[in-house]
Amino acid sequence: MDYRIEHDSMGEVRVPSDRLWAAQTQRSHENFEIGVGVETMPMEIVHAFGVLKKAAAITNNKLRPEKMTDRKLEAIKAACDEVMSGQLNDHFPLVVWQTGSGTQSNMNTNEVIANRGNQILGEKLLHPNDDVNMSQSSNDTFPTAMHIAAILSLENKLIPAANTLIETFKRLEQENEGIVKSGRTHLQDATPITFTQEISGWRSSLERDVELIKRSLEPLYELALGGTAVGTGLNAPKGFGETVAAEVAAITGKPFVTAVNKFHALTSKDELVFAHGAIKALACDMMKIANDVRWLASGPRDGLGEIFIPENEPGSSIMPGKVNPTQCEAVTMVAVQVMGNDVAVGMAASQGNFELNVFMPVCIYNFLQSSRLLAEAIMSFNKNCAVGIKANKEKMHHNLHNSLMLVTALNPYIGYENAAKTAKKAFKDNISLKEACVELGFLTAERFDEVFHPEQMV
């Protein structure tokens, strides 16, 4: 491999010739061999850095045109556009497990944009610190990238995924109107419901989760940019925070604003904790829905068997013909991962020491993993399972009329205790509720037929 010599304040460093990063990135790459190639900084953060560096250059050009000249600006903007589009992803090798402020990822971005901008210009005009990082610090850029990435992930991926599944459930509700089945509580038989009512519970849960996620967005629109090193705004021109937030909003189409208190913005991650709590709520409901689906589809002969789900692949290497609810299993595993990530996000957010949080990379790594995995799991579950759910009407009818909890309909006529005796006798003697009720002398056969209508119990 060919190398070139780059330097920083600590001296010279060898850097691969075909890479756009420079000395500080290379030092980090060599000093933190932890999860290399596996747990690299999320590309959502890299792309968010492209957004904020472009916004910062535009703002500096407005407020400090003598330093951020039009020529420098155009080169930085062009390089940032390539970062934002993903064209330069291969030039961001750093791992999550680095400095807790994300300084090295900020410098990775500065170096790549400076070197790529210089390539575009055909001369060495841009400096990573003096130009690309002008009016900024790692301490305000990294939390800004965190908020930008979080917003884009939630609004562009997770919420649309949940809404897609909501629409599928709405269709299933319409298609299954009028089907009555046995309800279940404590995994035991309960009084009847309609299949549409059951599906509506799934749909409503997701709608509430989307509402909760949307409520968590507003605090995330506040950006730390402008606080620089400790929140005072040292070395940033007056009005930088407000102007750069407006530029970020213009680039992303999202209503970003400058944080009211930069000391809070640099050290507290409560906005991400709050938003991840909403993500976890969605994961909890997806766990419940996926479990309901696989229970209802269990069988095909020895389980509940009340619904059919798509058969996507063989389920066993030894049992021919076996098909498993694999999409449900994938969703539930993702839900477990999200719940675990919630602990990591919360713990990381608690590590704001004085004027800076120093667990930011691990915080946003887990946050973005949760959002990304859950969005993809929901879309996979929708495409490969939910859209193909079909009611097994015959099995639902059989289970409904075989349920002892239909006896609840007799409470107004024979009383709770007599109804309990009826149910227990029916179960013990393996006879119908009607037979048990008549044998016990609580109702005549004719009167039983008059009052006993399971389909009206919903």
- What digits encode the pLDDT tens for the residues 253-283? 999 999 999 999 999 999 999 999 999 999 9
Using DSSP bridges, classify how beta strands 307-308 and 188-194 pair: parallel, antiparallel or unpaired: unpaired
DSSP 39-67: SBPPHHHHHHHHHHHHHHHHHHHHH-TTT
Active site residue 316: yes
pLDDT at 1: 83
- What digits encode the pLDDT tens for the residues 200-231? 999 999 999 999 999 999 999 999 999 999 99
pLDDT at 353: 94
Q: How many CB atoms lie within 10 A of CB 33?
A: 9
Per-residue pLDDT band for 52 (boundaries 50, 70, 90) equals very high
Whether domain 147-176+188-223+259-391 has CATH 3.40.50.150: the reply is: no
Structure tokens at 326: 């694999």
Burial class (CB in 10 A: 0-12, 13-18, 19+), 360: buried
Whether domain 3-134 has CATH 3.30.1490.20: the reply is: no
- Does the structure show a pLDDT above 90 at 318? yes
Active site residue 397: no
Q: How many CB atoms lie within 10 A of CB 445?
A: 11
Class for the domain spanning 403-456: mainly alpha
Entry pTM: 0.95
pLDDT at 432: 94
Which one of 85, 204, 316, 350 is the catalytic residue? Answer: 316
Give the domain ranges of the chain.
Answer: 3-134, 147-176+188-223+259-391, 403-456
- Does the structure show a pLDDT above 90 at 290? yes
Contact 143, 101 (CB under 8 A): no
